[in-house]
Amino acid sequence: MPGFESIIEQDLPVRILNTFLQNGTIPHALLFTGIEGVGKESTALAFAMACNCAGEDSSKTRPQPDIPCGICKSCRKIEAGNHPDIIRVIPSGPFIKIKQIRALCQTLAMKPYEAKRRVVIITDAQAMNPAAGNAFLKMLEEPPLRTILILVATHTSDLLPTIVSRCQQIRFKPISRKQLEAVLVERHGLDPGEAMIISTMAGGSLSRALSMHKTRWVSRRNWIIKEMDALSSGPVNRLMAFSEKLSRNKDTLQESLDVMKTWLRDLVVGQMNPERIVNQDLASEIQQDPHKMNIHVLLDKIDTIQATQNAIQTGTNLRLTLEAMVLKLARA
């Protein structure tokens, strides 16, 4: 059933929203913050349903106003994504542009079509460009009637302070490893072994965990580790082949570089504090490694990969940058 009960491990945000509903004191603007994939948008939709739910029998008053029934006409429309008064705003390319906010203002100047409370959900609110942010600020200063604005962002620091100050902030926490592992197995049918590895590496994000499963992350991780272990003894053509394969998969490149850093970190940690190894399924191999590197060498390798990630973000030549990184890692 759709509703707050489907939200994973976000008891405090749900409790706050329930209190608003029960007391009838819903703020005109809410700001949901937290890493991607922890349920911010799902919670926003569940809240929109709870605000407008008529109950299983629309002729009766709902006894529990904090729980959407999922059956009434309003709930079904919102769940299907075709309710005229539940408005979604998403970035157009990398930004939310001023023309999108102006179009939203025109829509909100009219009365809701059928909702008791119109709800606007702004995804990646930090993507508002300065002009859009200033236009949205004017809307916050004169909020439309019967309308709730929900901004979804990662950090408050990514938004104009004047926007943040006019919203009720609700912080969403990362999902715990154990809960994430259980959800991957029970709801998404992952093999328990793969779920254990992915839940450890996903950083508390369900969407990231599912993406890792879809892109066969565990197989890619194992390949990367195998190639890294062979760097110092491999011929130049193998080193170049490794860098070429990394550069070919641009969508997963930054994640692959993170895998490399995490593996090197584990080699450091495994010598001092084995219980903090991230790749726990490979812990025995890490601790039994007969040719453990000097910790300072490992830290230098991590710095090399981080410098490469920074260079890639500035738009440097990808192939040459990765070749230089791999050659430097092989020499260390």
pLDDT in tens, the chain (332 residues): 467 888 999 999 999 999 999 898 999 999 999 999 999 999 999 999 999 988 754 444 444 544 788 888 999 999 999 999 999 999 998 999 999 999 999 999 999 999 899 999 999 999 999 999 999 999 998 888 899 999 999 999 989 999 999 999 999 999 999 999 999 999 999 999 899 999 988 989 999 999 999 989 899 999 999 999 888 887 888 999 999 999 888 888 988 999 999 999 999 888 788 888 888 888 888 877 655 678 889 999 999 999 999 999 888 899 999 999 999 999 86
How many CB atoms sit inside 10 A of residue 19's CB?
Answer: 12
Does the fold of domain 216-331 match that of domain 4-171?
no
288 token code pair: 């039994």
Q: Which residues of 284-299 are buried (b: 16+ CB within 10 A; e: fewer)?
A: eebeeeeeebeeeebe
DSSP assignment of 129-145 equals -HHHHHHHHHHHHSPPT
Quote the distance between the C-alpha of residue 80 and its chain's center.
Answer: 23
Is 70 in contact with 1 (CB distance < 8 Å)? yes
Q: Which residues contact 232 (CB under 8 A, 6 or more apart)?
A: 330
Tell me the pTM: 0.82
Q: How far apart are CA 188 and CA 194, in angstroms?
A: 12
Just give the CATH number of 216-331: 1.20.272
Q: How far apart are CA 115 and CA 148, in angstroms?
A: 11
Just give the CATH number of 4-171: 3.40.50.300
Q: Which residues contact 53 (CB under 8 A, 6 or more apart)?
A: 62, 65, 67, 68, 69, 72, 74, 75
For the chain, the domains span 4-171, 176-214, 216-331
Is 18 in contact with 66 (CB distance < 8 Å)? yes
pLDDT at position 292 is 63
pLDDT at position 270 is 85
